[in-house]
Amino acid sequence: MPTQKSPPMLLGISTPHDAGIGIYGDYNDLKCLHETIHHLCNHPNVEEHLGEFVLGFAYEVRKSLEGGRESKHFGTDRERVKYLGAKNLWPFYLVQVALLRDFARLQPTSVIHHAQLYLLEHITEKALADRNLETARFCREWLSHFPGLTRDYVSLFMEEGTRKFIFETPPKQRLASLPKLLRSFHWFSDEYRAFEKTVRAEAEKLGCSPQGLRVKGEWPSFKW
């Protein structure tokens, strides 16, 4: 009987100002994660615009394993290791992790795929618990009961919410504000429904789809 490859190890650390999470691993860890994300996103049952949103996470993982983002040393003395990694904004990342689990239900998956998903959820909860235990508990439940997103979901709403999370929320309050923000991301929330109505009206004026609208202008620099 062929032996299964051991699940890779990853580390997750909330950034200094709690803007996001840093995901770290060695080359093989990150390569396996990158392959899993692409496998789950590139399936006919996955809505294209939602798959593209999650592939934004895959892009950061790829840049990590190519050495294009950052590196950190972990451990001490002879057990000291160098890991590659990249930062991911908390609101985007949490929805991407939730969607990956959602995508896994739409297609055949392997033991390694599920190992990756459980590992992501584990390091996510640990990174949050190290900074805000209440938010960590909320996110664990939120990920377990994620209702999914509709096929015509306007992901621009998440970008607007994440922008406010970064530029309008004091760093010390960011993690405490995450539960309310994540609740608003649900397609049935009052905040989303109001935003969707406005965006659909704007898209109709411009003769494009709501999913085709983008936030104008580049994001200013900020402290992670």
Q: Does residue 139 contact residue 125 with C-beta atoms inside 8 Å?
A: yes
**Rounded average pLDDT over 9-32:** 95
**How much is the pLDDT for 6?**
43
Task: Decide if 141 is inside a domain.
Answer: yes
Task: Decide if 5 is inside a domain.
Answer: no
Query: With 50 as the cut, is the pLDDT of residue 3 above it?
Result: no
Mind listing the pLDDT tens digit for each residue in 119-137?
999 999 999 999 999 999 9
**How much is the pLDDT for 22?**
97
Task: Decide if 43 is inside a domain.
Answer: yes
**How much is the pLDDT for 85?**
96
**How much is the pLDDT for 216?**
67
Task: Decide if 217 is inside a domain.
Answer: no
> In this predicted model, which residue has the larger pLDDT, 3 or 101?
101
Mind listing the pLDDT tens digit for each residue in 22-33?
999 999 999 999
User: Over 40-97, what HEC string results?
Assistant: HHCCCCCCHHHHHHHHHHHHHHHHHHCCCCEEEEECCHHHCEEEEEEEEEHHHHHHHH
Mind listing the pLDDT tens digit for each residue in 131-176?
999 999 999 999 999 989 988 899 899 999 999 999 999 999 999 9
Task: Decide if 2 is inside a domain.
Answer: no
CA distance 93 to 132: 17
Task: Decide if 222 is inside a domain.
Answer: no
* pLDDT confidence bin for 1, thresholds 50/70/90: very low
| Domain ranges, residue 148 | 11-212
Task: Decide if 220 is inside a domain.
Answer: no
Query: With 90 as the cut, is the pLDDT of residue 16 above it?
Result: yes
Task: Decide if 223 is inside a domain.
Answer: no
Could you give the number of structural domains in the chain? Answer: 1
* pLDDT confidence bin for 4, thresholds 50/70/90: very low
